[in-house]
């Protein structure tokens, strides 16, 4: 038996009438509740795009949401798209069904996976709102400090690694740094939506304050050249030799110039990633997001509760246990982050 669905919304859409057969159109009931809309852009909002960013933004409820834009295929709305629709309706958020070409244009042809939301912007919070953490509370605290990261995709990839590996706080310099944009959120697979990111106008003063409180300030540099004398009196150490024995601030620098002179002078130690071969000029360093993942893993693998070598062997022999433990360690509270590149590609459209 076919279902005749008529929807009218005076503000957001126009009259839409569709016939659906529940037997032939899975998700047809959800599809019938969407509005066909001309999508006049709203002011003072930004367009969040991608399945995971939108889903996690709704779950975190830290943004005001004006509209959810869902592109429904011939099969209707299923899985996460249907979940998004239910969550939006529960919060009385208007849900619209845009044309594919319109959505592509609004997203400037970014990979939106057929899901967008018009939302209020996210802003970093002042670092003093991060709370006072005494070194005596937990010797294995790790804060990630970003000095002038400007590329939004690098920023997002760094946030994704930081969230996955258990970084406690993220602090950015307010000057010469990328803001929390939708591109950052998409590149982080939505991690930006659930992480607390803080900022400061005086990064050098922040580092000096934390050092006085007993924190270790560890900067990062590219592979030191054997031909050039070490220009800094600060000791340089391989990240593999670093022992995490007290609360640490790991400081990453700008993609091109690295740490500023003032910030580097505030560091007590410089960590580096040693290459496995002789490198030609210009290849002595890694992309900042790649370096962040390596450095964070080398430090966080020392955290109590991280699997030991024997446990890792046992987990590798039992793929189901490995999968369950990985999910429990990194994504128990935020299931949307579990969608890897394969799932993201499946949802693109």
For residue 229, what pLDDT is reported?
A: 45
- Domain co-membership, 75 together with 142: no
**Domain holding 54: CATH number?**
3.30.1330.30
Backbone torsion region of residue 101, taken as left when φ is above 0, otherwise alpha when ψ lies between -120 and 50, otherwise beta: alpha
Question: Looking at the predicted structure, is the pLDDT value of residue 227 above 60?
Answer: no
Does residue 170 lie within any of the structural domains? yes
H-assigned helices in the chain: 28-32, 51-60, 79-90, 100-106, 152-165, 182-187, 191-194, 203-212, 261-265, 288-300, 309-317, 319-330, 341-347
The rounded distance, in Å, linking the Cα atoms of 30 and 17 is 14
Higher per-residue confidence, 178 vs 71: 178
Closest CA to 46 of 192, 250, 198, 214: 192
Question: Looking at the predicted structure, is the pLDDT value of residue 119 above 80?
Answer: yes
- Domain co-membership, 195 together with 293: yes
Does residue 14 lie within any of the structural domains? no
For residue 75, what pLDDT is reported?
A: 60
Residue range 6-25: average pLDDT?
39
Does residue 198 lie within any of the structural domains? yes
8 Å CB contact between 61 and 36 = no
Sheet holding 35-36, edge to edge: 35-36, 95-97, 65-70, 115-119, 46-49
Band (pLDDT 50/70/90 cuts) for residue 306 is: low
> For the chain, how many structural domains are there in total?
2
- Domain co-membership, 293 together with 273: yes
Give the pTM: 0.74
Does residue 9 lie within any of the structural domains? no
Residue range 323-348: average pLDDT?
48
**Domain holding 147: CATH number?**
3.40.1280.10
Region of poorest pLDDT, from 25-29, 107-111, 179-183: 25-29
Per-residue model confidence as pLDDT tens digits over 265-289: 999 999 999 988 888 877 777 899 9
Higher per-residue confidence, 328 vs 45: 45
Tell me the residue range of the domain where 136 lies: 125-224+232-277+285-301
The rounded distance, in Å, linking the Cα atoms of 312 and 216 is 29
């Amino acid at each position: 038996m076919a279902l005749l669905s008529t929807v009218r919304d005076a503000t957001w859409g126009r009259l839409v009438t569709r016939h659906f057969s529940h037997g032939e159109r899975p998700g047809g009931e959800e599809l019938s509740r969407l509005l066909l809309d001309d999508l006049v852009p709203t002011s003072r909002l930004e367009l969040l795009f991608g399945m995971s960013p939108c889903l996690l933004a709704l779950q975190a409820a830290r943004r005001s949401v004006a509209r959810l834009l869902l592109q429904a295929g011939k099969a209707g709305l299923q899985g996460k798209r249907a979940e998004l629709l239910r969550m939006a309706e529960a919060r009385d958020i208007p849900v619209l069904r845009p044309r594919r070409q319109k959505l592509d244009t609004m997203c400037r042809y970014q990979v939106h996976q057929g899901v967008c939301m018009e939302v209020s912007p996210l802003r970093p919070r002042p670092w003093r709102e991060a709370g006072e953490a005494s070194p005596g509370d937990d010797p294995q605290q790790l804060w990630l400090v970003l000095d002038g990261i400007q590329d939004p995709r690098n920023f997002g990839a760094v946030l994704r690694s930081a969230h996955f590996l258990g970084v406690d706080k993220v602090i950015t310099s307010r000057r010469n740094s990328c803001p929390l944009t939708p591109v950052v959120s998409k590149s982080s697979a939505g991690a930006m939506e659930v992480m607390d990111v803080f900022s400061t106008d005086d990064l050098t003063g922040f580092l000096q304050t934390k050092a006085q409180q007993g924190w270790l300030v560890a900067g990062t540099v590219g592979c030191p050249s054997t031909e050039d004398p070490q220009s800094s009196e600060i000791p340089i150490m391989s990240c593999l030799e670093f022992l995490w024995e007290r609360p640490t601030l790991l400081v990453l620098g700008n993609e091109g110039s690295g740490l500023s002179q003032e910030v580097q002078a505030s560091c007590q130690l410089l960590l580096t990633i040693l290459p496995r071969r002789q490198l030609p000029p210009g290849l002595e360093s890694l992309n900042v997001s790649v370096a962040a993942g390596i450095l964070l893993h080398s430090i966080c693998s020392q955290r109590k509760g991280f699997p030991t070598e024997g446990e890792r062997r046992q987990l590798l022999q039992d793929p189901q246990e490995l999968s369950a433990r990985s999910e429990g360690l990194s994504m128990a509270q935020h299931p949307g982050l579990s969608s890897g590149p394969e799932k993201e590609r499946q949802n693109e459209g």
